[in-house]
Amino acid sequence: MEWQAPAIVLETRPHGEGGAVISVLTEEHGRHAGLAKGGGSRAQVGLWQPGNLVEVRWIGRLPEQLGAFTGEMVHPSAALAMDDPLSLALLNSACALAAGALPEREAQPRVFAGLLTLMAHLSRGATALLADYVRWEALLLEVLGYGLDLSACAVTGSREHLTHVSPRSGRVVSAEAAEPYRDRLLPLPSFLLGGQAETDPAQWLAGLRLTGHFLARDAFGARHHPLPPARERLEARIAALLPPPAEEAAANA
C-alpha cells in the first residue's frame, strides 16, 4: 500500500532511537499518521515541524497499519513564522486543533484548503489573518457536524441586526431578541457574517471565544478532552492586545 501527496505537518511525537510518529493533514487522506525513521534527528527535525507543507510518501503493508513516512520540504511555514510570535501561535493553534479534532483517514478537502490558505499568507502577519483564522475554526466546526447557524434569528426569523449566538444551540439571535438575555449569550463578531476585513482585537477575541466555546464543548468535550494548550495560548495572546478595563486602569493609575 502506498500513496504520495502534499501534506501539512500537524504533530510530531518522538519514537524510539531518533524516530518520530508524524501526524499530517492531506486533502484526500485526511489526518494520517506514519513513522518517520530518523524523524527526530538533527537532519530531519526541521522538516517535520508542525505547520510545514511537505510532499509526503506513505508506505504500509496493510491499509490499517501505521506505515512509514518519508517527506520533502515544500514550504517551511514554521520557520517563516518564527520571527512573529503571534503568527507562530496562530499556526500552532490551527495544527493542534486539526490534530485533536479531525477523525483519522477521512478526506478533508475544505479544512486542508483553508489551512493551506492561512499558511500561504502568513508573511502578511497574523493581524491580517485573525479574522480568516476564526472563519477557519467555524469551518472546522461545520465539517465536524457542529456548525453554527448564522442564517437568521432563532427567535424572530429576522436576517437583520444579528448580534449574538446561543451557547446552547449555536443559533444566531438578533439584537432585539437578545436584549433580555445578553449576559447569557455569546457576542457575534460582524466579520463572521461576511467577508469584510477586521482589525479590532476585541472582535478577534469575541470570535475566538465564540468558536472556542463550541470546540471545547462539542469537538473536544464530547471525547472528554480539553482544548489544546496551543489554542488557549493564542486566545491569551489576543486578549493581551486589548487595553485593560477602565476600572483596572484607574486602580493602577
220 phi/psi in degrees, rounded to 5? -105, -40
Closest C-alpha among 249, 213, 250, 237 to residue 92: 237
Largest CA distance in the chain: 68
- Top pLDDT among 65 and 215 is at 215
Q: Which residue in the block uniquely carries the three cell numbers 508524524? A: 22
Per-residue HEC secondary structure of 97-153 comes to HHHHHCCECCCCHHHHHHHHHHHHCHHHCHHHCHHHHHHHHHHHHHHCCCCCECCCC
Buried b (16+ CB within 10 A) or exposed e, 116-131: bebbeebeeebbebbb
Q: What is the three-class DSSP state of 249?
A: helix
**Residues 42-58 pLDDT 10s:** 899 999 999 999 999 99
Kindly report, residue by residue over 87-135, the tens digit of the pLDDT.
Answer: 999 999 999 999 999 999 999 999 999 999 999 999 888 999 999 999 9
Phi first, then psi: give them for residue 185, nearest 5 degrees.
-110, 160
Sheet bearing 162-165, strands edge to edge:
172-174, 162-165, 186-187
pTM of the model: 0.93
Radius of gyration of the chain (CA): 20
Q: pLDDT exceeding 90 applies to what percent of the chain?
A: 85
- Residue 198 clears pLDDT 70, i.e. is over it: yes
